[in-house]
Structure 1
Amino acid sequence: MSMFKKKDKVTLDQQAISTFIGEGCFLEGNLKAPAFVRIDGQVTGNVTIEGGLILGERGIINGDVTTHDMVVYGTIKGDIDTHSLEIRGTGNITGELKTQTLLVEAGAIYNGVLSMAQNTKVATE
């Protein structure tokens, strides 16, 4: 299942990835990128992505995340501010969520506070 209607937009999983943090990589500090990012490693710090973010199954983020579209297969400990969010069956999120659209697959884990509004603005500073 996709966060977009099949004929309206291409799913985030099919976007061209401009930045990739591979499995076994560790980044300490804030990450900021203008396009689409995939993280399969570990980031300790805040993540701000203008386009979209895919967090792979072995990906871990310890910090707040701000992005437009997001698909989570991995683990996040921090607050998330996004336009649309998919938490896949292997996803595990602990923190506050602010989003307009949300899709949660069976098996996904979420612990925190959820805020959904049609006029949520995602600030990418």
Structure 2
Amino acid sequence: MWGKKNTDSMSALDESAKHETAWLGSGLQVKGEITGTEDLQIDGAVEGLIHLDERKLTVGATAKVTADVNAHDVVVYGYLKGNVRAKGRIEIKKDGAIIGNLRMAQILIEDGADFKGSIGIDRSATEQAEKNVASRAAAAGAGSKGI
């Protein structure tokens, strides 16, 4: 009882830790550089640089972000001014706005969204994402066969 580890609970904790999200509230203002290994939700004001290379940045509806951004995925419900580079996907939601140059593997701009700038699709990132999905699918199939 005491010496036995509950591996199911521990793996659930490990999985939830992989998807932690930091939050910058609507009453906060940050000037400078933000780097991290967690997803980040911004509802306040940020000015500077944001580096979340393997994580997701969400710009909330009340957010005003003036920054260059590097992230895996970026979702904008509010306002973002700056150059954005995403290894994965950029989404501009219906009331969201981006002013700046975008470079990503995939993009989604909803009806009602505002965008002013240029868009560059990084084909190598798209191809790598497709390879990763195929590798995971093959590994999952091999795992179910006992290989």
Task: Name 2:101's counterpart in structure 1.
Answer: 96
Tell me whether 1:112 sits opposite 2:117 in the alignment: yes
72, 75, 84: which one aligns with 2:76? 72
Higher helix content, 1 or 2: 2
- Percent of matched pairs sharing the same residue: 30
Equivalent residue pairs, number: 107
Q: Distance in 2 between matches of 1:62 and 1:120?
A: 25
Amino acid aligned to 2:34? L
- Tell me by how many angstroms 1:60 deviates: 1.4
Q: Which protein shows a greater Rg?
A: 2
Q: Distance in 1 between matches of 2:45 and 2:76?
A: 13
Which blocks of at least 5 consecutive residues in structure 2 are unaligned?
A: 1-17, 127-147
Task: Name 1:31's counterpart in structure 2.
Answer: 34
Task: Name 2:10's counterpart in structure 1.
Answer: none
- Tell me by how many angstroms 1:16 deviates: 4.2
Q: Distance in 2 between matches of 1:109 and 1:45?
A: 21
Instruction: Specify the SS of the correspondent of 2:120.
Output: strand
**Structure 1-normalised TM-score?**
0.80
Deviations, residues 68-95 of structure 1 (Å, cap 9, x unaligned): 0111001111000002011001111001
**Structure 2-normalised TM-score?**
0.69
60, 78, 86: which one aligns with 2:91? 86
Task: Name 1:6's counterpart in structure 2.
Answer: none
